[in-house]
A = this chain, B = another copy of it.
Amino acid sequence: MEVFSELLVLLVTARLFGEIAERLGHPSSVGEIIAGMALAGIVVLFGGDVAFLHQLPDSDVLSMVANIGIFALVLFAGIEMEPGEIGKHSKAYIAVAGGGMVAPLLGGVALAWWFLPPSELKQAQVLIAGVALSISAIPESTKILSDLGQMHTPAGRTIVGAALFDDVFGLFLLAVVLAMIETGQVPDVSAFALLVGKVFAFFTITVLLGVHVYPRVSKHLKTMQAAALEFSALAAVAIAYGWLAEVLGMHWILGAFMAGLYFERSRVGVRAYQEMRLFFSVVTRGFLGPLFFLSIGLRVSMEAVTEVPLFLVLVIAIAFLGKMVGGGVPALMTGLSRKEALAVGVGMNARGAVELIVLSIAQHAGLFDPVPGDGPIVRNLYSTLVLMGVITTVLSPMLLRRILLRTGRE
């Protein structure tokens, strides 16, 4: 009985805030995170009186649903990207991806290194701050781009292509961080080489399967016209890749992501692609996503705003400027116009689900656990990085829309 009442309250709350956010022109995920933050406030105020509220932050059901949500969201993020299409049209994204990743990564690492007190976890915390700043999300930018008919312009293609590379590289860095948390230190050269080798092996296997085996299986399934079978096949591949990733010592989200990545229109057929895209869109936007984003917000503390205001502002500024300069300058140098380059730099600032997933996994791995004696920065690190993600994800499409509309008129 508690499972149902809890799920009902959480789902309705998350969706309500998500819808309000959408009506106001923001991504629904932002509303859903705010729903979680609002619920967290209510828990603090009234939690003692209501057993259900009191247990909410440690809820097994919510944590289970959020985990399934991460799996589906990452798989869906992979499905929405079409790596086979990207290389065809533009090469600028490689320089943009590199610059747009390295600049905020280094900026985040330097900032965190400066602010965080020394501790066993400092190296890993510093690196995860860098990773969080370096992620670029595709879905939100894509929505604006296609709303404005700019998906297939040089700027649009560059944003999408660069975001793909930054996500893949961000997930690779997550694997490094998780290894660091396990061993408690930066891996030495041989351990790092082994990790890189494993990651390389993983990508080689999954890319080869994606390129060569996906289309054959799909061709076979296509003649059978069975959506359920496609779903079974995709689910089995995602589970198998997740398993492979874990066997190689990486996180299973890499597997789910790669399973979705090569599930693209040109390889599996338009019908299969559209059916699976609808399926994952429905389940992630209608159920799993809202509960995942709410669970993210539930653990955010607004104390970050009052306790570490300078750190928060600097993190947001470096995150934004890092992407804008690091992505925009190479875009300008590879031949895009000033406004297009500005659009690229701004458009890469939406950090969306993948950044939050990385933070959620790092939190569960214990990276943000308070240790006696660590200061307000460590205590508020998780909240600061989530707030940075939320704010840049809100700002990016708003500014992108302005820039692109301006470009359109000239």
Q: Which residues in B have their C-beta under 8 angstroms from that of A19?
A: 229
Verify B15–A232 contact, CB threshold 8 A: yes
Verify A286–B232 contact, CB threshold 8 A: yes
Known interface pairs A228-B281, A282-B228; A287-B235 also in contact (CB < 8 Å): yes
Q: Which residues in B have their C-beta under 8 angstroms from that of A281?
A: 227-228
Copies in the complex: 2
Verify B287–A232 contact, CB threshold 8 A: yes
Verify A8–B231 contact, CB threshold 8 A: no
Q: Which residues in B have their C-beta under 8 angstroms from that of A333?
A: none
Known interface pairs A227-B278, A285-B228; A12-B242 also in contact (CB < 8 Å): no
A257 at the interface (CB under 8 A from B): no
A140 at the interface (CB under 8 A from B): no
Verify B282–A243 contact, CB threshold 8 A: no
A contact face: mostly helix, strand, loop, or mixed: helix
- Interface size class, chain A: 35 or more
For A243, the closest partner residue in chain B by CB is B4
In angstroms, Cα B239 to Cα A208, docked, is 42
**A286 contacts which of B11, B64, B227 (Cβ < 8 Å)?**
B227
Interface string of A276-291 (1 = CB under 8 A from B): 0011011111110010
Verify A286–B229 contact, CB threshold 8 A: yes
Q: Which residues in B have their C-beta under 8 angstroms from that of A64?
A: 64
A247 at the interface (CB under 8 A from B): yes
Known interface pairs A11-B235, A235-B11, A236-B12; A230-B5 also in contact (CB < 8 Å): no
Binding site for B on A (CB under 8 A): 1, 4-5, 7-8, 11-12, 15, 19, 64, 227-232, 235-236, 239-240, 242-243, 246-247, 252, 275, 278-279, 281-287, 290
